[in-house]
Every structure is written in C-alpha cells, then in structure tokens.
Amino acid sequence: MVGAIMTIRDKLHDFFTKGKISMGFGKSLANITDDPRVNLPVSEITRIREDLDYYSDVFADVHFYNTNNERRKRKLSTLSVTHQAARKLASVIFNEQVTVSVTGENINTFINGVLTDNLFNLKYEEYLETGIATGGFAIRPCVDNNKIKLAWVRADQFVPLQSNTNDIQSAVIVNRTTKSENNKTVWYSLLEFHEFDGISEETITNELYRSENVGEIGQQVNLTGLDEFADLPEQVVISDIVRPTFAYFKTPGKNNKSIESPLGIGIVENNKNVINAINTAQDQFYREVKLGKRRIAIDGSLMKPSAAHSNDDMKQGYPVFDTDDDVFMQVGKTKDGKPIIEDLTNDIRVNQYSDAIQLFIREFENNIGLSQGTLSTDATKSTKTATEVVSDNSDTYRTRSSYITQVEKQIKELIISIVQLATKTELFDNGKAPLTIDLVNQPLDINLHFDDGVFVDKDKQLEEDLKVAMAGFMPKKEFLKRNYGLSDDDADDWLKELRAEAPETDNIPDKQAGMLGGNDGDDSGGNDE
C-alpha cells in the first residue's frame, strides 16, 4: 500500500488505526536533539532521564572498604520519597471521582464512552504520578478497529520541536523497542514527528532508527526491514483541525533549569540534595541496625568441649555454647593469660537517625508544597476533627489547585483532539464518522468536576451552602453542582424533576419549598413554625 498509489484516506487510516510510526532513510543520530527539527538543549533530555532514576529509586552503588582493606560495593538503602510524594500528589489531584461532561448529549455520550473504554481515570492517575516526578507527559489519541484509543507518552518519550514557547504545538514522540539479531540486542527507535502549522493543518512524519548502542538513536533505516512497520506511511497530513493531535501536561511553575524550555520540571528538580540527604541518613541507619546486633568477644578456650558425659561414644564431651549461636566471637587471651568475655554491643542511635530523617523529609515537603505530616511522621499527633484535617492540609490544597489548572487544560485539549479524529470519515472502515461537528464555529463546552475529598469538610459545606441558598444568595443549580458533583445537564434534570414534584411541598416551610422548586418563591403561604 505504500507508494504513489496510496490515497490520503489510506495513509490516514493506516497511520491512525495502527497508532505506529513510519520511516525516513539514511540519517544518523547520536541523540534526538541532533535532528535539526528539534530545538531543545540536550541538558533537558539528560535531566528527565535523571528524574526518572530518582522516581524509580535507581541510584549508584555505595563503595566502601572492609576490615581487610578490600574495596566492596552494596546497594543504597532508600526511602523512595520521590515516588511517595508523586503518588500522594497524584491521588489528591486526580482520582476515580473526577467526572467529565461535554455540552451536547451525543458528544458527551461519545466522549465518556471513549474515556471509559480506555480506563481513563485509572491510567491518568498513573501517568500523572510519573509526570509530577519528571515534569510532564502527553496523550495521543488514535483509531484502532474503528474505536478511539489513547496512547500514553512519558516525559522521556516526548520532545518538543520548539524551545521558545510555553504552548507546545509541535513535538516528536520517541518509542524504543529491542530485537535480538544474531545473538545481539539491537535497539529500534520509532520517531513520530508532529508539526502543527498553528492554524488548521498538522504534518506527521515517521522515521525508524537502528542502533547497537542503548545510548544512541542510531542509523535511519527503511521500515521494510521490520515486518511490523512495513505497511506504514512515511508522512500524513491532517487538515481542518483546530489543534495538534496530542495533549501535553506541564507541571505548574517556571522551568528554572532551562528558561527557554517549554517543558515542565518535576519535584525532583531543585530537591536532589535533600533527597540525597534523606537516602544517606536512611542508608546509614539501615547499616547501623544491620551491624548493631549483639556481639560478645570470648576466649577461644571457652568454646572447647567440657568433660565427657554418659552416652558420649566419641568421648568429646559437649560445647559450653550453642553451636548455632553467632553472638560469640572467639579471640585470643589477654596478656595476663586470663580468659576474657566482653560485650561489644553498642546502642543503636534510633532517635538521632529518626530525627535527622524526619527533618529532611519535612524540608522536602515544604519545598514541593505538601503540608507538614504528609510524608513525615509525628508520634505526638492525635486524632483530629474533619475541620482540623482540612486546616492541616491547606498547603497541599493550594498546591493541588495549581496542578488542577494544568490537568484541566490537558484533558480539555485531549477531548478536542478526540473529537477531531472522530469527525474524520477517512479513519473508519465504513467511511462513517461517529461525530459531525464544526469545531471552528462550534467550540466545545467542556466541564470537569474534581472531588475535593479531605480538603473540604463536606458536611460543613452542605450546611453553609444550604443556608445561603435558602436565603436566596446562591442559585439552586450551583447548590446541586457544588454539593452533589452534578454536571450542568444533570443539575437541570434534577431541577426539572423537583419542579414536577412541587405540589408535594405544600406542607413544608416556604424557603425549603423554594429550594425544591415549589411555591414559585411565594413567601405568603406556608408557615415556618
């Protein structure tokens, strides 16, 4: 199918239905930044890889010299604070309680169907976790068997083509795979270049590279060398769209490691020293516990068997100490010839190490915007009321609000990208698109509802909102949305049903009846007594 005879419809269909990448030919790239289309410092690529190591708890071995002056190495004992912090933030920012609604029944049903089929809430929280640690991630929708599928792209797989804007409209997506060739591991890099003109057209160029070195992109090769890529198009142009076919999440705040970079920075950056301090303290504490077991030095003569006893055929007697005991260490006699027995055990400095570790963790919490006690522990803490819990989490709540702004932006952009694909008849086998909408003249009205969880005392909020609504200072619709997580459409449906049931409210107080849609706001009837 590849070649001049391939129609635009065929190219689009093959690319998006397989969600893969195609080829170029002849170039050699040591790093992705060597491509002239990529205008990003190589330091950004290196930074993201290091951030992933911190998130994955991959650290260099600890080297030391033993008692015999022999150089040894061991694994570093860590607390995985980067993963813990990212996990905590992701769970309070986005969870299964988040709902998405789009104005228009058909579009709303379609979008929520796509999100459900792709386990969106579950997957999004997972990739948000890595994005918080590394600075960002991207989502690219594609069509697979006439259904919209979502491809998730980590920070180390996403490279913007511009370095002078905060709005990423062009990027290359890198996906690496390995093959065994002649008993040798070979790495293939699939590069998917997305170049949006900023108006209505996106050009997607696909290239394949081969390398025998894991640290290099390698030599550009023809896709026909690999069966799984042989039928993929080299280039596809998508027209009549309003934005790129990917959506990028960027952590809030400026990238202070590369001022011109449009990429975000994760919680690792600006905190490597304190994370290293936490791990160093933990590692030393672990070693002290491991080496601090009870040890008693004794004269070797004390380990000799005593006089023979009955039924002892070998006439060797029996030892004074248990032969399986590792507490005792044989040493020579003292200068005066007297046998020795000395306890060499030292107390483990639990309090000192614990205090040091908690101090560093609290510093880490403060640096990344988490409330004190989110990761750190305090044995003096007592059970608190809901109001006290809300107050204690105020720092985390403010940080969460900043992240939610970026989350909303990405999800809304993703929904637009999904709708764009869903309107392209050439992507579907039957030639029928699931949706027909002019996004230029009919912009989508997208609403997201986030569950505030522990950050809001819901009972208190309901009580206060009810007072305000009954006083006539809050619309009924807003009351329902705030306290029951309803979308605009669902809130309208509730109000319609309440108005239909209005005759049943004749015997309740006027203000309450008004809340339920009855009495039409007439305060002349009814009795508050």
Residues β-bridged to residue 184: 181
Confidence of residue 346 (pLDDT cuts 50, 70, 90): confident
In this prediction, residue 4 carries a pLDDT of 40
**Interacting residues of 403 by C-beta distance below 8 A, sequence separation 6+:** 89, 93, 132, 251, 252
SS3 of residue 50 by DSSP: helix
- Beta-strand relationship, 147-153 and 28-29: unpaired
139, containing H or E segment: strand 136-144
DSSP string, 330-365: EE---TT----EEE------HHHHHHHHHHHHHHHH
Sign of CA dihedral 437, 96, 94, 56: negative
The token duo for 178 is 């390995």
Tell me the C-alpha distance between 200 and 435, whole Å: 19
Tell me the C-alpha distance between 180 and 188, whole Å: 11
In this prediction, residue 248 carries a pLDDT of 97
User: Any idea what the Cα angle at residue 108 is, between residues 106 and 112, rounded to 5°?
Assistant: 120
In this prediction, residue 64 carries a pLDDT of 84
| Residue 50 identity (one-letter amino acid) | E
Rounded to the nearest 10 degrees, what angle do helices 476-484 and 488-500 cross at? Answer: 120
**Interacting residues of 462 by C-beta distance below 8 A, sequence separation 6+:** 483
> Tell me: the pLDDT tens digits for 109-143?
999 999 999 999 999 999 999 999 999 999 999 98
For the chain, give every domain's residue range.
Answer: 293-345, 457-529
| Residue 295 identity (one-letter amino acid) | R
**Interacting residues of 518 by C-beta distance below 8 A, sequence separation 6+:** 498, 499, 501, 502, 503, 504, 505, 506, 508
144, containing H or E segment: strand 136-144
Which stretch, 96-110, 465-479, 488-502, 510-524, has highest mean pLDDT?
Answer: 96-110
Average predicted confidence (pLDDT) for the chain: 81
**Interacting residues of 61 by C-beta distance below 8 A, sequence separation 6+:** 73, 74, 75, 76
User: Once rounded to an integer, what is the mean pLDDT over residues 407-425?
Assistant: 95
pLDDT higher for 438 or 21?
438
**Interacting residues of 173 by C-beta distance below 8 A, sequence separation 6+:** 21, 138, 140, 153, 157, 158, 159, 191, 192, 194, 246
**Interacting residues of 60 by C-beta distance below 8 A, sequence separation 6+:** 76
Closest listed residue to residue 527, CA positions, set 508, 512, 501: 508
Tell me the C-alpha distance between 490 and 486, whole Å: 6
Place of tokens 């934005």: 243
Place of tokens 């997607």: 204
Instruction: Please check the confidence at residue 46 and state whether its pLDDT lies above 90.
Output: yes
| Residue 386 identity (one-letter amino acid) | A
The token duo for 4 is 């001049």
Confidence of residue 164 (pLDDT cuts 50, 70, 90): low
